[in-house]
Structure 1
Amino acid sequence: MFSVTVRDHMMIAHSLRGEVFGPAQRLHGATYVVDATFSGSDLGPDGILVDIGRASEVLHEVLGALTYRNLDDEPDLADANTTTEVLARVVADRLADRVGELGAPQRLQVTLHESHVAWAGYERSL
């Protein structure tokens, strides 16, 4: 299995619902380092799984729609508790919608790093 990973970051504001989140129930900011890993068993005719440059651009565009926003105010996320896990799925699904621009990978894994000691991810088929 081949894999290609591209990395970017996003800065968001949000609040989390539920007593389990303690003070994070209040509005706060978060900066995530975001890795998107595309994988597949076959390379294209040019010997690549995905176009790394284009994958970087698409990831940046997807994150740009979330960056510097209060996610509590975003209509697409109104019913979501925007935990790190949920945001990883949102990013993965938005990347999956554009995967045809990149190549023909079979799987995608998105990891959001909250810090150097904690991260969460979501993996899906393409």
Structure 2
Amino acid sequence: MFSITVRDHLMVAHSFRGEVFGPAQRLHGATFLVDATFRRTALDADGIVVDIGLATRELGAVVAELTYRNLDEEPAFAGVNTSTEFLARVIADRLAERVGSGALGEGARELCGISVTLHESHVAWASYEREL
């Protein structure tokens, strides 16, 4: 399996429901380092997994849809705890939609998977991996 990973960052405000979250039940800010990994079983005719420039651009576009927002106020997330794990899935799914639309180039249609890791600190992170 071949892969490439591109990186960006995300800054949001949000709060959680449920005692398990302790003080994070109050509105707070979060900054995440975002790694998006694209996988395929064989390299394309150019010898690459996917164009790194396009992957970087599209990750940036997905992150821009979320950053500097209070996620508690976003209709798409009404009634949902926007945990690190949940946000990793949102980003992966939105990247998958962009692959399907051709935004990462025609060769990207041969990708077999995407994983997204959100690092919430130097000691904790969460990932979501999906097939394409």
What TM-score do you get using the length of structure 1 for normalisation?
A: 0.97
Cα displacement (A) at 1:113: 0.1
Cα displacement (A) at 1:80: 1.6
Q: In structure 1, how many angstroms separate the alpha carbons of the residues matched to 2:94 and 2:72?
A: 18
The match for 1:6 is: 6
The match for 2:126 is: 120
> How many percent identity over aligned positions?
67
Cα displacement (A) at 1:79: 2.7
**Structure 2, unpaired ranges of 5+:** none
Tell me the number of residue pairs that the alignment of Structure 1 and Structure 2 aligns.
Answer: 126
The answer as to 2:28 corresponding to 1:22 is no
Give, as a single letter, the amino acid of the residue that structure 2 aligns with 1:40: R
Q: How does 1:1-126 map to 2 (within 5 A)?
A: 1-99=1-99, 100-102=102-104, 103=108, 104-126=110-132
The alignment yields a C-alpha RMSD, in angstroms, of 0.7
What TM-score do you get using the length of structure 2 for normalisation?
A: 0.93
Cα displacement (A) at 1:93: 0.4
**Structure 1, unpaired ranges of 5+:** none
Where 1:53 maps in the other structure, the secondary structure is helix
